[in-house]
């Protein structure tokens, strides 16, 4: 008896081959691949941006609480 997993892999492979021959196989966009250094720089930038947004949110929370006390 054959292994169901290997049968599934063979079917998947056969589908890929058929799609490649038909020209309908999806490919990875080369422009979406970035060097690791660029990705690390973007992650650092996004972390800084998130920290700034969190800081601004905290300031607005405190200001809202302050002005809510004044209006009572």
Question: Is the pLDDT confidence value at 59 over 80?
Answer: yes
- Two tokens, residue 48: 């800084």
* Host domain of residue 43: 4-70
Average pLDDT rounded to a whole number, residues 44-71: 95
Q: For position 28, what pLDDT does the model report? A: 62
Give the integer Cα–Cα distance in Å for 72 and 67. Answer: 9
Q: At 3, phi and psi to the nearest 5?
A: -75, 125
pLDDT tens sequence across 29-55: 656 667 788 889 999 999 999 999 999
Average pLDDT rounded to a whole number, residues 12-22: 84
| Tally of domains within the chain | 1
Q: pTM for this one?
A: 0.49
């Amino acid at each position: 008896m054959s292994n169901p997993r290997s049968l599934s892999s063979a079917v998947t492979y056969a589908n890929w081959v058929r799609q490649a021959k038909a020209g309908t196989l999806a490919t990875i966009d080369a422009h979406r691949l970035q060097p690791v250094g660029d990705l690390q720089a973007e992650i650092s930038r996004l972390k800084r941006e998130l920290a700034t947004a969190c800081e601004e949110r905290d300031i607005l929370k405190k200001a809202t609480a302050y002005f809510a006390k004044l209006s009572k």
